[in-house]
Amino acid sequence: MARGFFITFEGGEGAGKSTQIERLGKKLREKGYRVLVTREPGGSPGAEAVRHVILSGSAEEFGPEMEALLFAAARSDHVEQVIRPAIESGMIVLCDRFIDSSRVYQGVTGNIDKGLMEAIERVAINGMMPDLSIFLDLDAEVGLQRAAARRSAGEGADRFEKETIEVHDRRRQAFLEIAASEPERCKVVDAAQDPDATQQVIEEIVFGVLERHVQQPTEAEQ
């Protein structure tokens, strides 16, 4: 595989993304693929510094546009320092959250103008569009309960977890709307099943897409 393959995982709080990414990474490595696991906001030293500013809530008072720009700044650094070099070296990159989180959390529930969001996205990813995005879909209330259960004692909800159930539910709908509008890239997986069943569905999707990717060389290779 000359160019690598870029897979993102998206979904609401407590959908089980990190568990599934870890399992998929292990499976891919067993099959001989070189895999890089990363996450957003963060994934590079510059982006991890911005992550702290955003998730602590320090930027919240400056409004959703400010937060969207901070996410984009972090993403740009992450793409250029980590994701693009890995993809160019032929690796499979598994990323916990990416542009669809910005579209949903900042664009839809942050009420940011669509044109502004598109402009920010273009600059942040600079062509590095995911090849495949897995959306882990779960009832918002169940997800929040799971997220609360996994926090250690005394640790509070972060900037985004603490929002109302209506907001979380709107986000779920927004992820489903993106998936419906980009069915080639986005695959919705029911995350209410047990983790083994969810893992199996994800593997079927990923290995199916990877097979097609390998069998269909790009124009340059033909």
Footprint (CB under 6 A) of ligand TYD, residues 163-222 = none
Interface characters, 7-46, with ligand TYD (x: CB under 6 A):
------x--------------------------xx-----
**Cβ-based nearer residue to ligand TYD, 55 or 116:** 55
**Cβ-based nearer residue to ligand TYD, 96 or 131:** 96
Q: Who's near 136: CB < 8 A, 6+ residues apart?
A: 9, 10, 11, 15, 16, 17, 20, 189, 191, 198
What are 126's two structure tokens? 């600079």
Q: What one-letter code names the amino acid at 162?
A: K
Residue in 21, 160, 178, 202 binding ligand TYD, rule: CB under 6 A: 160
Q: Are strands 186-190 and 92-96 parallel, antiparallel or unpaired?
A: unpaired
Q: Who's near 158: CB < 8 A, 6+ residues apart?
A: 55, 57
Q: What one-letter code names the amino acid at 28?
A: L
**Cβ-based nearer residue to ligand TYD, 22 or 33:** 22
Site size toward ligand TYD (CB under 6 A) is: 14
Q: Find out whether 130 and 185 touch, Cβ atoms under 8 Å.
A: yes
**Cβ-based nearer residue to ligand TYD, 28 or 117:** 117
Q: Of 159, 41, 151, give the one whose Cα is nearest residue 109.
A: 159
Three-class DSSP labels, 85-128: HHHHCCCEEEEECCHHHHHHHHHHCCCCCHHHHHHHHHHHHCCC
Residue in 20, 102, 198, 199 binding ligand TYD, rule: CB under 6 A: 102
Stretch binding ligand TYD (CB under 6 A), from 99-107, 126-134, 184-192, 205-213 = 99-107
Q: Shortest distance, CB of residue 166 to ligand TYD, whole angstroms?
A: 16
Residue in 106, 133, 198, 199 binding ligand TYD, rule: CB under 6 A: 106
Residue in 78, 84, 97, 172 binding ligand TYD, rule: CB under 6 A: 97
Q: Shortest distance, CB of residue 215 to ligand TYD, whole angstroms?
A: 32
Per-residue buried b or exposed e for 138-151, using 16+ beta carbons within 10 Å of the residue's own CB: bebeebbebbeeee
Residue in 8, 44, 101, 198 binding ligand TYD, rule: CB under 6 A: 101
In the complex, the residues that contact ligand TYD under the rule CB under 6 A are 13, 40-41, 55, 71, 96-97, 101-102, 105-106, 158, 160-161
